[in-house]
Amino acid sequence: MSPFIYKTRTDGLSVLNLQKIDERIRLAANLIAQYEPKDILVACRRENGWKAVKAFGRATGATVFPGRYPPGILTNPKLARFMEVQLIFVADPWPDKNVVSDAMTLGIPVVALCDTNNQSNGIDLVLPCNNKGKKSLGLLFYILAREYVKKKGLVSGEPKFTVEDFTEE
């Protein structure tokens, strides 16, 4: 994650580079908009992101797994819930390591929200951010959902959902 760190404070806290975050949000929005909703899978094992992920799914139509990712749904065609997707989007590559591993096995690109302490191995597009805070996750999923529906032409003007639909107090 070192390319995305602006500086490290004397107390050891690393500060992310806002320009890099802005660049990566644009890249992620453009990448995600290249896929149909049925081809996108969003996973978030961390409870802080469940509301944001569910709201992203409602807004975009993408398949979401807030909570535990069901093992084998991408790799075992004999399962009733088997699905084929073309893009994986995870809120944190560490707790969501099973879906990242399945994506790597199948050659599916992975977009991941990563904090300064994350490893980016196996991630095709890193989106640097605070991926542990409810408000941060809500804001990022809101921005990406807003850009997705605009780029896909699903809304004219501003979408009907708001950032409050994605965040918790």
* Residues contacting residue 11 through CB under 8 Å, at least 6 positions apart: none
Residue-level pLDDT at 120: 84
Q: What DSSP element (H or E) covers 140?
A: helix 134-151
Low-confidence ranges of the chain (pLDDT < 50): none
d(CA 74, CA 42): 13
d(CA 128, CA 4): 7
Q: Which two tokens stand for residue 146?
A: 């807003």
Place of tokens 């049925």: 38
pTM of the predicted structure, to 2 decimals = 0.90
Contact indicator for 83, 59 with CB cutoff of 8 Å: no
Residue-level pLDDT at 169: 61
Residue-level pLDDT at 106: 96
Residue-level pLDDT at 3: 77
* Residues contacting residue 50 through CB under 8 Å, at least 6 positions apart: 44, 66, 67
Can you list the domains of the chain with their CATH numbers? 17-165 (3.40.50.10490)
d(CA 94, CA 96): 5
